[in-house]
C-alpha cells in the first residue's frame, strides 16, 4: 500500500474511533449498572468489565493520536497496531460481559 493510501485509511480509522468517543463516554457513565445484580460486587469479571468500559473513551482518544505519531515517524506496522487497540478493547469488554450473571 502506498504511503498516500495508508494515510487515507489511517484517517478513516481515526475518524471512526473519534466518532465513537462520545458513545464511549456515555457507556462510562452507565457502567456502574454492571453491578446491579448484588452478586456482581464480588465477581472479578464484573470488575474487569467495569474498568474496560470506563477506560474505553480514553483508548478511543489515545489510539488515533499514537497511530498518527507513529505514522509521522515513518514506522511501518506500529500505526496499525495502535489504531486497532480500541477494537481489541471492545472484544475484551464483550468477552468479560459474557461471564456476568443476568
In a domain, 47, yes or no: yes
Given this model, what pLDDT does residue 44 score?
A: 92
pLDDT in tens, 44-84: 999 999 999 999 999 999 999 999 999 999 998 999 999 99
- Residue 90's contacts (CB-CB under 8 Å, 6 or more residues apart) are 56
Position 62 in a domain: yes
Whole-angstrom distance, CA of residue 39 vs CA of residue 50: 14
- Tally the domains of the chain: 1
The answer to the question of residue 102 being in a domain is no
Give domain status of residue 19, yes or no: yes
Question: Domain residues for 63?
Answer: 3-97
Model's pTM, two decimal places? Answer: 0.86
- 78 in a domain, yes or no? yes
User: Residue 1: pLDDT band by 50, 70, 90 thresholds?
Assistant: confident
Q: Which pLDDT value is given to residue 69?
A: 96
What is the Cα–Cα distance from 9 to 45, expressed in whole angstroms?
A: 35
DSSP string, 33-73: GGG-SGGGGG-HHHHHHHHHHHHHHHHHHHHHHHHHHHHHT
User: Region 85-100: what's the mean pLDDT?
Assistant: 93
pLDDT at residue 37 in the model: 83
Distance between CA atoms of 102 and 82, rounded to whole angstroms? 34
Amino acid at each position: 500500500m502506498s504511503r498516500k493510501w495508508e494515510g487515507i485509511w489511517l484517517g478513516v480509522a481515526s475518524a471512526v474511533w473519534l466518532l465513537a468517543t462520545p458513545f464511549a463516554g456515555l457507556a462510562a457513565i452507565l457502567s456502574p449498572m454492571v453491578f446491579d445484580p448484588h452478586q456482581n460486587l464480588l465477581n472479578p469479571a464484573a470488575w474487569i468489565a467495569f474498568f474496560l468500559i470506563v477506560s474505553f473513551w480514553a483508548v478511543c482518544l489515545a489510539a488515533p493520536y499514537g497511530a498518527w505519531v507513529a505514522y509521522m515517524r515513518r514506522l511501518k506496522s506500529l500505526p496499525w497496531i495502535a489504531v486497532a487497540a480500541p477494537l481489541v478493547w471492545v472484544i475484551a469488554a464483550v468477552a468479560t460481559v459474557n461471564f456476568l450473571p443476568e
